Amino acid sequence: MKEKTREARQEQRIVGFVPTMGALHAGHMALVERARRECAPVFASIFLNPAQFGPNEDLSRYPRPLEDDIDKLTAAKVDGLFLPDAKEVYPHRFSTYVHVEGLSERLEGKSRPGHFRGVATVVLKLLEIVQPRFAYFGRKDAQQVRIIQQMVCDLNLDAEIVVCPIVREMDGLAMSSRNAYLGSEERKAATILYRALHAAAAEAKAGLRDSLELQRTLHKVLGGEPRARVDYAEIVDADSFEPVVRLTRPAYALLAVHIGKTRLIDNLLITPVGDELHVEL
């Protein structure tokens, strides 16, 4: 992998990189398509990173449709696929981890201790191996991409992080490899995340800047779905991920909700532009 991208860089070509954990869906493919528009060559990786899963999480049952994934990436004309082995990524005596302080402790980090340490470590390793000019991430994992941006800045990495919009199913459910866990009744219930964010978005668009009010709306809508168990539903500053009182700067409404045994996340980006609030679902 290192040789391939080194050659491309020597030829002054613009290397694009899309890291994934596989079980690819249209959300992943949108990252690949964007990368293909902006870079050549484009490399994708599939690595189900054990370091970002807790002991009681879903690593063992995470979907692994490798043949389908390869077909999708081939059809999307990526120039290369990096499929490292866990033993190669974390060899015997592996002992160096990256911890992005502060941002990693809240929200996802609080519910999933050690998760972002695993993410930051593997993303740093992948960026060091591939050394892309541009690396593509989804806003679906808003806190993750913010942490990666901080790491890239703090460690003076050369890659530019490109954040891509959330790709959704027709009914609004954010695409996720974990949606495959949902039974048919749960799948219907899972649209509650989108409906809650949509309700908050409508209020923000109408000019509501009080984040406690918006948070109340999120909880009210989520509370209407008996299968939903809320982990968190918060309005936070898009830069610090600290709670905000009034929307005067870009902010996220962030959701983590259990539907049955499946934990789903989603978010809404709210950006003040002059007197108005712009919303991106």
Binding site for ligand AMP (CB under 6 A): 20-21, 27-28, 30-31, 137-138, 140-141, 164, 166-167, 174-177
CB 124, min distance to ligand AMP, A: 15
Please say which residue, 166 or 247, places its beta carbon nearer to ligand AMP: 166
Marked catalytic residue, from 28, 198, 219, 258: 28
CA distance 170 to 25: 14
Start-to-end C-alpha separation, the chain: 35
CA distance 279 to 269: 6
CB 248, min distance to ligand AMP, A: 27
In sequence order, what are the residues at sequence separation of 6 or more whose Cβ sits closer than 8 angstroms to the Cβ of residue 131?
2, 5, 6, 9, 15, 158, 159
User: Does the annotation mark 219 as catalytic?
Assistant: no
CB 2, min distance to ligand AMP, A: 22
| Bridge partners of residue 14, in order along the sequence | 40
In sequence order, what are the residues at sequence separation of 6 or more whose Cβ sits closer than 8 angstroms to the Cβ of residue 51?
90, 97, 114, 117, 118, 121, 122
Sign, CA dihedral 183-186-187-188, equals positive
CA distance 197 to 172: 10
CB 265, min distance to ligand AMP, A: 10
- Return the active site residues: 28
